[in-house]
Amino acid sequence: MGEGDNTMLGQDLSPVQISDFFAAERRLRQSFPPSPLLSMAPLDQQLGAPVYLKAESLLPSGAYKIRGATNKIMALSQEVGASLRIITASSGNHGMACALSAKRLGIPATIVVPEPTPEIKKSSIRAMGADLLEIGATYDETFAATVALAEEKRMYYVHPTSDRYTVAGQGTISLELLQQLPDVDQIVVPIGGGGLITGISYAMKHLKPGVRIVGVMPEGSAVYAASRAAGKLVTLDSCASIADAVVRKTGEPYLYPYIEEYVDDIVTVSEDELRKAIKLACLYAKLTLEGAASLALAAVTSGKCALTEQTVLLCSGGNIDGSVLLSCLQG
């Protein structure tokens, strides 16, 4: 079963509006400041051209997911009140974001993760006070189990991607970029479930239509690239990548039309290219990035995406397992 097949308690699948992004920005500024936009001369020298890094890895919880989770949970809290209990399925980053947001608001949270989730992510979720359950070998299995549990316990499901409030929260990145770099002309964005690139592309194309949006997926888990080639949303037979946060067989029916309309190109990178990007970010940008967060840099270093005068690479998170990081640095 794919994530977008059923509407769950608390999920909002109504069409996204540009006003949603400005409302989300007002909510988020109550919790944390914008993420920094970095320009690192040693990295520019390696690439042979200047590039900007949107360091979402430096946000609370260590990834961009805090945006969508905070926006959604704050909206639910205002709507439901003191009886609110939330649950979500996550490969790690969304779970940490929900756990942190719920803790700040005093809301009970249950986070369900796949059994292979990196220990650093699981320990962080526990440290934030949420109930952690490990169910399933893949995200799709975890999601199916979580839906059943949410229905049984009548808990509100905070969807990691397919929700109007989640998309609007992620899309506040575009509002920040237009303040930080008004002349931005290209944004390179990792794609997993699709909520991040949907939010960024929808907001940017409505506010500055000429900005080019390029999505990046690992070759071993490129469902939206395969869907674009097929002209319809497809399901992969198998998927695997060091970028654990974006590994999935299925795309999102709610997000797919937005991606097709607003994303200019989708490219894929190999596992070797991804490992090299993780090492490059650490050595020359002084950023510790997980696999998914290194996709944009990998697209540039591999030549799959050409740099423009004002290219921004979206560095989506820094929650990488220590053993994986070490193997990339030694490679």
Mean pLDDT of 195-213: 98
pTM for this model (two decimals): 0.93
Output the CATH code of domain 24-64+169-330. Answer: 3.40.50.1100
203: amino acid identity, one letter = A
Is the Cα torsion angle 253, 258, 263, 264 positive or negative in sign?
positive
Q: Which of 65-69, 110-114, 162-166, 241-245 has the lowest mean pLDDT?
A: 241-245
Query: Residue 6: its pLDDT value, please?
Result: 55
* Residue 140: pLDDT over 90: no
294: amino acid identity, one letter = S
* C-alpha–C-alpha distance, residues 145 and 148, integer Å: 5
The residues with which 218 forms a beta bridge, in sequence order, are: 269
Tokens of 286: 């002084």
Angle at 215 between CA 301 and CA 101, to 5 degrees: 110
- pLDDT band of 320, cuts 50, 70, 90: confident
pLDDT digits (tens, 9 = 90+) for 63-122: 999 999 999 999 999 999 989 999 999 878 899 999 999 999 999 999 999 998 888 889
Query: Residue 259: its pLDDT value, please?
Result: 98
Question: For the chain, which residues make up each domain, given as ranges?
Answer: 24-64+169-330, 66-157
* Residue-averaged pLDDT of the chain: 94
- Length, in residues, of the chain: 331
Mean pLDDT of 244-257: 92
Query: Residue 287: its pLDDT value, please?
Result: 96
Tell me yes or no: is domain 66-157 CATH 1.10.10.10: no
Tokens of 262: 């607003």
Are the C-beta atoms of 262 and 213 separated by less than 8 Å? yes
